[in-house]
Chain A
Amino acid sequence: AGPKRKIKARKAAKLPSIERRNWLIHSHFIRKEFDGCKSLIQEQLVETNGQCEYAIYIQALMLRSDGEIQQSLELFQACHQINPKNPDNMKQIAKNLILLGKHKSAIECYNHATDLGERDWEICHCLGVCYQFLKQLDQAEQCFLEALSKGKHTVTYSVLAKLYLEQQETKKAIDILQKGVDFAPENTDLLTSLGLLHLRNESFHRAFELLGQALTYDPENYKAILAAGSLMQKHGDFDVALTKYRVAAQRVPESSSLWNNIAMCFFGKKKNVAAISCLKRANYLSPFDWRILYNLSLLHLTMQQYASAFQFASTAIGLKSDHGPLYMLLAVGLANLGQDDNAEQAYLKAMELNSNDPHTLINYCVFLHNRGNSQKAANILGNFHKLSDDKSVSVEKELFEISKRLSAVLNVGEKIVVEKEKVEKHRKKKATKKTES
C-alpha cells in the first residue's frame, strides 16, 4: 500500500493539464449536445484562466453554427492569440471573414495560413470562392483547379461549374460536372445541374438519364421534377408530366415555374381555361417572368381574345425586348384588332430580331397576303423555303403544309383565310418553358 499512496500523492500535486478534457468537449460537440458542451467549456475556461485553446475553438464553432458570425470571429481571434502557429485558427478566421462578406481580408488570412502550414485543398477552394466574389475569375478558376488536384470534393465541382457558367462556357461546365458526377454518382445536386445543362444543350437523352438518376436518389427533388416534367412535355406525355408535377406541387405550392409548366400541360391537352387559370396564378406569383406572359399571350390568341393577348405580349416585351417571337405574337394580336399598320411594324421588328424563325415568316407572309401585298408575301415565302431547305433548322410538318397552300394561293391569287396556323406554332414554344435556372 505504501508505494501506491506515494504515486497518488504525486499525481495530486501535479498541475491540471490545460487540455485534459478536450476529448469530452469534442464528443459533446460532435453529438450536437450544445448545452452540455457549453457548460463544460465554461468550466474548463474558468479552470484554465481562459487559456484552453480547444475550448474556445469549439465555442466559436458553435456560435458559428448558430449564425452569430461576428462573435465567433472574435473567439477565433482569441484562439489565434493563444496559439499563433496553428494554421487551423487562421483558416477559421478567414472562413468567418468570408461569411461576413469581407473577401479581401479573407484572402490575406488564407495567405497567412499558407505561410503557417501547407496549402491544402480547403485553402485553395476558399481562395477560389473569394476571388469569384471579387470578380477575378481567372484566379478563381486556377484556385479551384488546384483544389481539385489536392483533393476531390463535390462542393468544388459545383462552384467551378457555376464559375464556368458565369463565363458562358457551357462546354467546360458540362465537362467539370461530368467529372463531379463520376466522382460522386449519388450527389443529387450535381446530377440535377448536369441534367439541366444537357437540357439546355438539347441533348435530351442524356438529360433524361441524369434527372431520372437524381430522382431515384431523392424523389422529392423539385428542381429535378420540374426539369424531367418539361422533358416529358416536350415529347407530348402530358399526363405523365402532370403526375410528376403533382408531387412537386405539394412541396412548392407557390413556384411560378411549376404553375407555368402545369398550365402548358393543360394547354397540350386542349384544356385552355384550366391552362389560363394556372398561368394567371403563375403570373400573380411572379409578375416579372416574361415566359409566363408569353404563354398567356399565346393562350389568349388561341382563345381568340386578342385584346388580352396584345396586353400580355406587350408586357412581356417591356420585360424582354430582344425576343423575336414575342413581337410576332404582338403582331398577330394587333392584326386581329384591326391595327394593320402597327402589326406591320411589329412584324418588321420581329424579322429584324430573328429572321430565321419559320413561324414569324409564315405569319408575316399570311398577313401580307391578307393585305393584298402578294409581291412581298411571295418574297417572304421564298425566304421560308430557303430556310426549310437548310438542314440545321427543324421545321414542323404543319408549317410545310401551310406554306404549300400559300404558294399555291399566291400563284393563283385566290383569297384564303388561314387562321389555323396560330394554333400550330405553340407546340414549338413549350421548349422555352423550363424556367428552373
Chain B
Amino acid sequence: MDPLFMALSYYKRRKFEDCVTTCTKILDKNPYDQAAWALKAKALTEQVYIDEVEADDQGIAEMVMDDTSVAQVSRPGTSLKAPTSAGVNQAVRPVSQSGRPVSGFVRPGTQSGRPGTMEQALRTPRTAHTARPVTSASGRFVRLGTASMLSNPGGPFINLSRLNYNKYAMRPNLAKVLFEYIFYHENDVRNALELAALASEHQQFKDWWWKVQLGKCYHRLGMFRDAERQYKSALKQQVMLDTVLLLGKVYQRLDQPLQSIETFKQGLEKFPNESSLLVATARIYDGMNDVENTTKWYKDVLESDGVNIEAIASIAANYFYSDQPEIAIRLYRRLMQMGVYNVELFNNLGLCCYYAQQYDMTLKCFERAIDLANDDELADVWYNIAHLALGIGDNTMAYQCLRLALSANNGHAEAYNNLAVLELQRGDFERAKALFRSAAELAPMSYEAHYNQATLAEAVGDLQSSYISALKATKAFPEHVDSKDLLKKLKQHFTNL
C-alpha cells in the first residue's frame, strides 16, 4: 500500500507513533515531500498537544511579581485576588492550606489563593496554590519542550533557526501546520509569534485563525492587552467558541472576573447552552467564593451535559458540606456509573456513606481507595478513616490511622491537628502542644490549630502565646465565635487591674 496513505490512516486513527515512523521513512526517500513533512509535523504536535484553554499554569513569578490588574484595592466581589469568604462556613467546610474552601474538582488552572510575597510563596508547600507543584515561572512549557526532544533520538525534526519564515508564511497550508508545531511541540513562542505575524500580514488580516494564534502567543508572553485586542478582532470576523473562552481567560488574568463573565454570557447568546461556557462561568464564581452562583451554573451545565464530571463533583462536594450527604452519594455514584475509577471518588463515596449512615458500603469504599492510592492520596484516605474511627468511638484506631496518614504524607496539617486533639484526650499536653505547633506552621490559613493552641496555652496560663494564637485564628476565620470570645477575655486580662 502507498506509505503516505498508510501514514494518513494512522494519523486519523490517532496512532501517532506509527504515523511518525512511516513519514520518516518517506522523508528519507524523498526529503522534499511536503505532504509527508506536514503530516509528520502534525503527528508530532498531536502527541504533546494540550488544550490552550485548560493549560493555565501560573508560576511563582506570575503570581507575585506580575502587576496586570488595574485596581489594587478592588471592591469586594469584583476580584479573584481578594475573594470574600461570605457564604462559606469554615467550621463545616475545610480550607486548603492557603485558606480557600476546598473545591470538588481540581484542574490545572486551580489557584487556591495567592501567596502575598515571594518569600511566603517559597516557604509554603509546593502544591498549596495550584494543582501541580509550583515553579518559578510557568515551567510546564519548558519541560515539555525538552521532553519532546528526548523522544527524538535523531535530533529535532525541524531546526527552527534555519527556517525562513517569510517563505512559509506565503503558503497557508504549510504555515498553519508549522505554527502549531512550533507552538505546541517546540514551545518556542517567539518564533511562533514571528511566523504568525508574517502569515497574518500575508492574509491581509482576514483570517481569524491567525489572529487567535497571535493572541495565544501574546498571552503566553504575558502581554494580555495585546492578546485581548487580537481576540476581539478575531471575534468581529467570526465568533468561535474557542475565542470566547480565550478572551474570558485573558480577563481572568487581568483580574476582571465580571468582564470575563460578561464575555461568556455574550458567547452563550451565540451558542446557547454550550457547556464549556457554562463551566467557565461557574469556575469564575467559584474563584470568587460565590457558592450559590457556582452551584447554579454547574446545575445549568448538567442540564445540557449530564455527564460533566467537573459539574457533578463540584455539586456533590457542595451538598456534602451542607449537611446533605445522601444527595452527594447519588452524585458520586453517578460518577462511578460513568466509569470514573480513582482514589478520590472512592474516598468521597466512603465519607458520604459514613455520614449518610450507610454503614455497609463505607469500609469497602475506603479499602478500594487504599488499593488505588499513591502516597499523598493515601494520607488523605487514612485521615478520613480516622474520622470514621472517631465516629465509632474507637480512639486507638483513630490514633493509628492518623499516624499512618502522617507517615504517608509528612506535611498533612489536619492530621497533626487531630492527632494533637487525641493526645490531649490522653493527657499528654507537651506532645499535643508540639503537634499543634506543626499543624499551625504547615497550614497557617486554617483556624483550627491556632484556636486549639490558644485554648491550650490559656489553660496553662500562658496568656501571651494564647493571645498570639487567638489573633491568628480570628484572622483565618473572622466569624469564629469561640476565638472571638477568647480574644475578648484575654484583652480583659490585659487591660484590667
Contact = CB atoms under 8 A, between A and B. Distances in A.
> Which of A95, A99, A255, A311 has the most chain B CB within a 10 Å cutoff?
A99
Contacts of A101: 457, 460-464
B390 A287 contact: yes
Interface in A274-322: 277, 280-281, 284-285, 287-288, 305, 307-308, 311, 314-319
B391 A315 contact: yes
Interface stretch (B18-26, B78-86, B392-400): B392-400
A255 B357 contact: no
A375 interface: no
A101 B89 CA distance: 34
B355 A280 contact: yes
A436 to B, nearest CB: 13
Contacts, number: 80
Given A100-B464, A101-B462, A319 B393 contact: yes
A133 interface: yes
A311 B359 contact: yes
Interface in B177-204: none
B494 A252 contact: no
B491 interface: yes
Between A65, A101, A155, A317, the greatest number of chain B beta carbons within 10 A of the residue's beta carbon is seen for A101
Nearest to A63: B494
B494 A67 contact: yes
B468 interface: yes
Q: How would you classify the secondary structure of chain A's contact residues: helix, strand, loop or mixed?
A: helix
Q: Which of B323, B471, B496, B497 has the most CB of A within 10 A?
A: B497
A251 B390 contact: no
Contacts of A288: 390, 425
A70 B464 contact: yes
B471 to A, nearest CB: 7
A287 to B, nearest CB: 5
A126 to B, nearest CB: 8
A323 B457 CA distance: 31
B467 interface: yes
Looking at A67, A100, A305, A315, the one whose CB has the most chain B CB atoms below 10 A away is A67
A352 interface: no
B462 A255 contact: no
Given A65-B491, A307-B359, A318 B497 contact: no
Interface string B474-497: 000000110000000011011111
B91 interface: yes
Interface string B326-366: 00000000000000000000000000000101010000000
Nearest to A252: B481
A285 B467 CA distance: 24
B466 to A, nearest CB: 9
A308 B89 CA distance: 28
A311 B357 contact: yes
B372 interface: no
A315 B92 CA distance: 21
Contacts of B394: 318
Contacts of B495: 64-65
Nearest to A280: B323
Nearest to A91: B497
A19 interface: no
Interface in A114-153: 122, 126, 133
Contacts of A308: 357, 359
B392 A318 contact: yes
B424 to A, nearest CB: 10
A67 B461 contact: no
A122 B463 CA distance: 19
B494 A100 contact: no
Contacts of A65: 491, 494-495
Interface string B52-76: 0000000000000000000000000
Contacts of B471: 67
B461 A317 contact: no
A285 B91 contact: yes
A253 interface: yes
A37 to B, nearest CB: 15
Interface in B360-403: 387, 390-395
B398 to A, nearest CB: 10
A69 interface: yes
Contacts of B323: 277, 280-281, 284
Contact of A99 (B91, B355, B464): B464
Nearest to A251: B481
Nearest to B463: A99
A345 B395 CA distance: 23
B85 to A, nearest CB: 14
Contacts of B357: 305, 308, 311
A363 B494 CA distance: 56
A100 B481 CA distance: 24
Contacts of A305: 357
A133 B461 contact: yes
B92 A67 contact: no
Contacts of B468: 67
B291 to A, nearest CB: 15
A133 B491 CA distance: 20
A27 to B, nearest CB: 17
B89 to A, nearest CB: 7
Contacts of B387: 287
A318 B471 CA distance: 35
Contacts of B461: 98, 101, 103, 133
A254 interface: yes
B463 A254 contact: no
Contacts of A285: 91-92
Contacts of B497: 95, 122, 126
Contacts of B91: 253-254, 285
B120 to A, nearest CB: 23
A67 B464 contact: yes
A122 B497 CA distance: 8
Contact of A253 (B89, B390, B393, B425): B89
A316 B393 contact: yes
A72 to B, nearest CB: 9
**Which of B91, B92, B460, B464 has most chain A Cβ within 10 Å?**
B464
Interface string B444-469: 00000000000001001111100110
Contacts of A311: 357, 359, 392
Interface string B224-261: 00000000000000000000000000000000000000
B74 to A, nearest CB: 28
Interface string A34-55: 0000000000000000000000
A255 B481 contact: yes
A15 to B, nearest CB: 35
Given A122-B497, A254-B91, A317 B462 contact: no
Contacts of A95: 497
Nearest to B467: A67
A99 B359 contact: no
Given A100-B462, A100-B463, A285-B92, 17 more contacts: A67-B471, A67-B490, A70-B464, A99-B463, A99-B493, A100-B464, A122-B497, A133-B461, A254-B91, A254-B92, A254-B481, A284-B92, A308-B357, A311-B359, A315-B391, A318-B394, A318-B395
6 contacts: A67-B471, A69-B494, A280-B355, A287-B390, A288-B425, A308-B359
